[in-house]
Amino acid sequence: MSSTKVILVTGSNTGIGYELVHLLAAQGHTVYLASRKEQAGLDAVSQIKKEKGLSVKYVKLDVTDVSSIKAAVAQIEKDEGRLNVLVNNAGISKMEVQHSAIEPDLDAIRGTFETNVIGTIQTTTAFLPLLRKSNTPETPSVILNVSTDMASNSFMASPKGFLHDVVAYNTSKAAQNSYTIALAKNLEAEDIKVNAVTPGFTSTKLNGFSPGERLLRTARRSS
């Protein structure tokens, strides 16, 4: 069996997702760059080709739109017949809306949960049949959810915790972590690997390009 995997990275036209698409494509995998805005996605694909000489594929995918998700599943199944890895990277932060637990912005919370929690769940559910179809003992399928330190209750309760006034993002990612654990337990018997990864505080569009500890490309250079 080929070691080349078919990988989908949601919300990957910028930031961490974009860098991850580049890293995976450089390893020879068939990588789908997904974004809800078609032109932004196509521009990102062209940029990777121009800067890195790497070919990646684009699929339009809005994780809050069930019809968009179904169309993306159909496209990848038609073109590839399999999906080995799903990276749930798409997310919003609403960090521009400073709100505490005692003065919450309910609209910000609803919108953030719709993308970060419901979006992750319904995207994973839709792609699960294709992941199951691709799953073998030699090449287990993988579901990877991009998380954050702020999703950890123990971290946020410690002296190192920060950004306590971004309730929508923090609570949504904590909920996503709980879903990740439940999904991992539910799929354990099928040997489909489910994990969450925390890349560290990274300067991206999600947080208004705040100074971060590191970028994936920096990690790549030092690896």
Q: What is the DSSP letter of 166?
A: B
201, 213 Cβ separation under 8 angstroms: yes
Burial class (CB in 10 A: 0-12, 13-18, 19+), 69: buried
Would you state the structure tokens that stand for residue 182, as one six-digit string?
């439940």
Number of other CB atoms surrounding residue 7 within 10 Å? 23
- Of 18, 58, 169, 179, the catalytic one is 169
- Parallel, antiparallel or unpaired: strands 85-88 and 6-9: parallel
**Spatial contact of 18 and 204, defined as CB atoms under 8 Å apart:** no
DSSP β-bridge partners for residue 193: 142
CA distance 202 to 64: 24
- Phi and psi at 164, nearest 5°, equal -75, -10
Is 169 one of the annotated active-site residues of the chain? yes
Q: Which DSSP symbol is given to 206?
A: G
CB 27 within 8 A of CB 104: no
Catalytic residues: 169
